[in-house]
Amino acid sequence: MSRLALGRYSRYISRLKPLPHLNNSVLFSSSATSNRDDTAAASQTGPPPIRVGLTESAGRAVFATRRIGCGDLIHTAKPVLACPSLLSLDSVCYLCLKKLMGSDKFQDRGVSYCSQECQDNAKGFYDVETRGDWSSFVDYCRTHNFKYPLMVKRLSCMVISGALSPDCLDILQPASLSSAMISKIEDGYGLLWNAFRKANFTEDDVAFLTKQWYTGILARIRINAFRIDLVGGSCGEDLLSLAAASVDGEGAVGHAVYMLPSFYNHDCDPNAHIFWLQNADARLMTLRDVEEGEELRICYIDASMGYDARQTLLSQGFGFSCNCLRCQAKD
């Protein structure tokens, strides 16, 4: 697909399934690179061609510090927190969510990893996790079709292991929760708390795990977690082709929360897009030419929906009414 073609069909390319944004201190890798020279990405260590600033209507936002060509890689980002879905537990790496192929697995106490490195990096929180019986909590998530409480469980284990601090997601914008949702959240909190206490963790170990903390974390994850849809392929492939391929992708493997990508605001006809190649490491690329000073925006929802459906979903799911050019025209 040519750059011109991608520019013409940017709305089509953006009709993926990724979700919202996220936040925090910078935890990204690589700088801007053209898809014509993507193989050189690993050798570039400078900052990406963007800055984070404030807007009057949408709070924090990401702006280009120079002209960025259509199809250019803006930056990559590693997740602060990633968690496989219940359906993919046996088929992806327990840490990075990479799909596991055949016998190419490193197994440890009932879960599998794609490499020794992932197994080593997960050891701290997994040592904590294996001390507890999570069956009631997992059944609760499965029964209610909840995915985000599983992320809170992993985050709790990471906090206890010392890998993250309890306030690591405080900078994220929280969702507004209904009374019915809060009631269900409290049920999950009780199950999680009981699992830790039955595993003989001390009061000091779980002092952070209050009902207020649990509810606040879930409220932030709810609108700041990306659904991970793996495109596949390798870094050497054309980013435009990979973006096009992700439109029909069936590779959802879990969810993740990031730092820098959380600052990207929404647009129903975006000029940027986030996607995943082989694991939960995110890539953000342009869908058309972006001028210096222009705000970079991604689409939080399925952009193929009509105006009314988009407005309803954005209002109920993210707490705002979209006023982008496309919505102003009620397209």
The length of the chain, given as a count of residues = 331
pLDDT, residue 185, reads 84
Q: Is the dihedral of CA 300, 303, 307, 312 positive or negative?
A: negative
pLDDT, residue 317, reads 76
Torsion angle in degrees (nearest 10) through CA of 280, 77, 233, 146: 30
For residues 263 and 92, what is the distance between their CA atoms, to the nearest angstrom?
Answer: 28
For residues 231 and 42, what is the distance between their CA atoms, to the nearest angstrom?
Answer: 20
Measured CA to CA in angstroms, residue 26 lies from 77, 80, 93, 204, 258 at distances of: 9, 10, 25, 30, 9
Q: Beta-carbon neighbour count of residue 144 at 10 Å?
A: 12
Cβ proximity of 287 and 239 under 8 Å: no
pLDDT, residue 60, reads 84
Question: Which stretches of 81-134 are DSSP H helices?
Answer: 116-129
**Residue type at 187?**
D
Q: Which residues, other chains included, contact 277 with Cβ-Cβ below 8 Å and sequence gap of 6+?
A: 230, 231, 232, 233, 234, 235, 242, 283
pLDDT of the chain along its 331 residues, tens only?
A: 334 334 333 443 443 333 333 333 333 333 344 444 443 343 345 789 999 998 887 778 999 999 999 999 999 999 999 999 999 999 999 999 999 987 678 999 999 999 999 999 999 999 999 999 999 999 999 998 999 999 999 999 999 999 999 999 999 888 887 788 788 788 999 999 999 999 999 999 999 999 999 999 999 998 899 999 998 654 445 555 555 544 444 458 999 999 889 889 999 999 999 999 999 999 999 999 999 999 999 999 888 899 999 999 888 878 788 999 999 999 9
Of 298, 301, 314, 310, whose CA–CA distance to 261 is shortest? 298
For residues 83 and 232, what is the distance between their CA atoms, to the nearest angstrom?
Answer: 18
pTM: 0.81
Cβ proximity of 76 and 103 under 8 Å: no
Burial status of residue 165 (CB atoms within 10 A of its CB: 0-12, 13-18, 19 or more)? exposed
